[in-house]
Structure formats: structure tokens, C-alpha cells
Structure 1
Amino acid sequence: MVDDAASGDAATIRRRANALALAVLAQLAERPMHPYEIARTLKDRRKDESVRLNYGSLYSVITALVRDGLIEPAGTEQDGNRPQRTVYRLTGAGRTEVDDWMRALLGAPVKEYPQFMAALSFLPLLAPDDVADLLRTRLVALRVKVRRIEDDLEDLEHTDGARGETSELAVAGSRYELAILRAELAYADVLVRRIADGTLGGIEAWRAAVR
């Protein structure tokens, strides 16, 4: 027989590995919504930049949250001739969960496993010159992403500023992403230059190993 507490802990761990579940709880903490409204609001607020969003996953997450007692149906809505949509609301347990989850995310750093970090761990699989060329390609893409976010933030600040509604809270995620991208850009740029000029420690052994 499975211990109820252990089963509950396992469900919490699985749920907290899925940022889309947090996004759903966060939206319903504002007000009851149907799934389409949740998705539309996340996209309008550009939260899909930080949370992987698709409708199949969204409905799976909503089903799981209902099963776990964190959200519940609150009625239905119908827009014209479109099918009725179920509106969901946060339960008391859901309010507690989203509060605990946010506190854990903000207060305790956890080990994450970015794919780029994994690639850096295995650089000697490729020749140094190939690595440098690939990193130069990456640098171009990073600069494009940095510029896009900078432009988006500037446009948002101009738009909201004209309405007197500029909010740092609304762009905190984008500013964090921008800081991370700039740090990666700076690191990769230095790495490329050190590979190219031969000042990277161990590069001669690296070159010899892949000949």
C-alpha cells in the first residue's frame, strides 16, 4: 500500500517540475478563467517567453490540477455560437500551493542543467577551430535575441509610459532573461577569442587529442 504522504510529495515534485502549472495557478489567483483565456493572457503578457505553452500541455496541466484539488470548475461561459468553455478557479489548497511554490523558487537556488552548460563540459569532442566557428554562429544568434528583448522592453516602456502604467514587475522576467543572455554573450565572446589566439589553458593538448 502506498503511503498517502509519500504519494502527495511525489505529486508535488512532479508538478513543481512543470512551470506551466505555476503559470496556470498564477493566472487563476487573479480571477477565474477558462483555458483559452489563460493562454491568451499568458501570451499577451509575454509569459510564453519563460513558460513553454501549448494547448495540449495546458489542458493536461489543468486536468492534473483539478485532480489534485488545486483548482475546480466554477461554471461555464459561452461566446456567441462557440462551444461552452469551463471556467476554473483556485481552491484554498491551490492558493497555499502557489504561495509555497513561489517561496521555494525565490528563496532557494536549485541546480539546473542548461544544455549549453552540458556542451561546454564536452568541448574536447570537437576540434578547437570547429568549436570557435560554432560559437561565432551562436554569438550572432545571441546578439539578435538580446536586441529583440531590448527592443521589446523599449516598446513596452514607451507604450506603458504613455498611459502612466510603467511597471518593473511586468518586465522582471524579461529583464532577467536579458541579463542571462548578456552574461552568456560575454562569456562565449571571450571563449572564442581565447581559442582563436591560443591563450585558453590546455588548448595545445586539446588540438593534439583531436587530430
Structure 2
Amino acid sequence: MAKKRKVDNLLALAVLSTIVERPMHRYEIAQTLCERGKDRDMAIKWGSLYTVVQNMAKAGFLEVVGSERDGARPERVIYRITDAGRVEMADWTRELLTTPEPEHHRFVAGLSILAVLPPAEVIELLGARLDALGRILEVARRELGDLTGTLPRLFLVESEFGLAMLEAEAAWTRSLRDELIEGSFDGLAQWRDWHDRGMRPSEVTASIERGVAEN
């Protein structure tokens, strides 16, 4: 089970992994994260970054080492990682690599109430999702291909994982859609019947519960 952390926003870990290289101000941290494509893994917003850096400083993971001013721009506070921050970064990384945690996925939420839509519409919607996934996969493969050979693989493994997950989702979605089209999906006839009879969701739920009780 994941432990309770003083700052539990994953953006904090990204900040620690960046600032460990050298002291930086917040704008430089954000710029470095975006240059390395971390904005694809998480939302990097100025307000969130400001709060995360402040909280990490309060927790003792970062410390102020100076400031600088560029022309008329506001003064920029420069931070560096502390020994406690290095320990937190390593410990958090170990936890993420070893401890599976349930992650909320919008697609799963939709699948959980699939019965509210008729099978024919679900087939159409899954087809639209596959089209969208195809476009996303095309971009992801191209971006990974462009980076391969220019960066050590050590810095590309998260992109490889993301691509693998997208491919797995597309394969599973395609398989489900094929079952619905071919008619091999278990319970498909009953599902169609519910919608042909115009049953309300509550009636569908009651019908399923009766079937479970009878079995």
C-alpha cells in the first residue's frame, strides 16, 4: 500500500527529478519539464507548480539558495534539492515501481454502465474510439521514433510504456467490438431485448439481480 507523503502530487516528484541536476527557479523548472515532454504525462500548470514548490520547501525537500532578476520581470527565487528531498525522490520512485495502485480511467467508468446504451450504438461508439486511438497511436509512434537514437533508452521507457498501454487498449476495444458485431458476446440477445422493450435502467438492474439470484 502506498504510504502517505508530505506532498503527494506527482508533479512534486517530477520537480525533484529535475531540480536534482542543479538549482533552478520555478519558471526554469516548468520549462525543463516541458522540454522533456513531461507535460504529456501530467498537467503542468503555473499555479500548481508554484504551490507544489512552496509545499516541498515547507516539507524540507527544497531550500532557497538565492534569487535573480531579469530586467523588469519579478524577482525569481532559486531553489535546490535538500538531502531529505533526495531521499524522498528515491523512496517515492521505488514505491511507484513496486506498488500497483488502482487508477481511475474514464473508459472504465463508461464500460461499467455499458448496458444503458443499445448494442448497436455501442458498436458505433467503440468504432469512433478506435479511430481516435489510431490517430493518437500514430502520433505516439512517430514521436517515440523521432526520439529513439537521440536520447538514451533510459529516458524513453515511460513513452514506451504509454505506447504499449495505448496499443493494448486499442486491441482490447477492437476485440470487444468484434464480439458485438459477430454476435458472440455473452448475453448480447438479452441486452438487445432490454432496449427493444424500452426497459428503464432500474428495470434492467432488477432483471440482472433476479438472474443472479436464480443462478
RMSD: 1.5
Which residue, out of 29, 34, 50, partners 2:25? Answer: 34
**2:204 alignment partner in structure 1:** none
Look up the match of 2:130.
Answer: 139
CA–CA distance in structure 2, aligned partners of residues 142 and 15 of structure 1: 33
- Structure 1 position 210, deviation (Å): 2.3
Structure 1 match to 2:191: 206
Residue in structure 2 matching 1:127, options 118, 123, 135: 118
**Structure-to-structure mapping, 1:1-211, within 5 angstroms:** 12=5, 15-16=7-8, 18-157=9-148, 160=150, 166-211=151-196
Question: How far apart in 1 are the matches of 2:27 and 2:155?
Answer: 21
Alignment length (residue pairs): 194
Deviation at 1:175, TM superposition (A): 0.8
Which segment drifts farther, 180-189 or 105-114? 105-114
Larger radius of gyration: 2
Pair 15,209 (structure 1): closer, same or farther in 2 beyond 3 Å: farther
> Which AA in structure 1 matches 2:89?
V
Give the letter for the 2:176 counterpart: L
> What is the SS of the residue equivalent to 2:129?
helix
**1:124·1:210 contact (CA, 8 Å) conserved in 2?**
no
Shift of 1:29: 1.5
SS at match of 2:184: coil
Q: Secondary structure at the match of 1:140?
A: helix
- Deviation of 1:157 (Å): 2.6
1:80 and 1:70 map into 2 onto residues whose CA distance is 30
For residues 128 and 120 of structure 1, the distance between their equivalents in structure 2, rounded to whole angstroms, comes to 12
TM-score normalized with structure 1 length: 0.87
Give the stretch that moved more between structures: 75-84 or 33-42: 75-84
TM-score (norm 2): 0.85
Residues 50-103 of structure 1: per-residue CA shift (max 9 Å, x gap): 121111111111111112111111111233443221111111211111111001
User: Are the aligned partners of 1:29 and 1:90 in contact in 2 as well (CA < 8 Å)?
Assistant: yes
Indicate if the aligned counterparts of 1:23 and 1:51 stay in contact, CA closer than 8 A.
no
The percentage of aligned residue pairs carrying the same residue is 41
Alignment partners' CA distance in 2, 1:169 and 1:48:
18
1:113 Cα shift? 2.0
**1:197 alignment partner AA:** E
Distance 1:80 1:157, change over 3 A: farther
SS in 2 for 1:30: coil
Instruction: Give the SS at the match of 1:210.
Output: helix
Unaligned runs of 5+ in 2: 197-215
Q: Which runs of 5+ in 1 are unaligned?
A: 1-8, 161-165
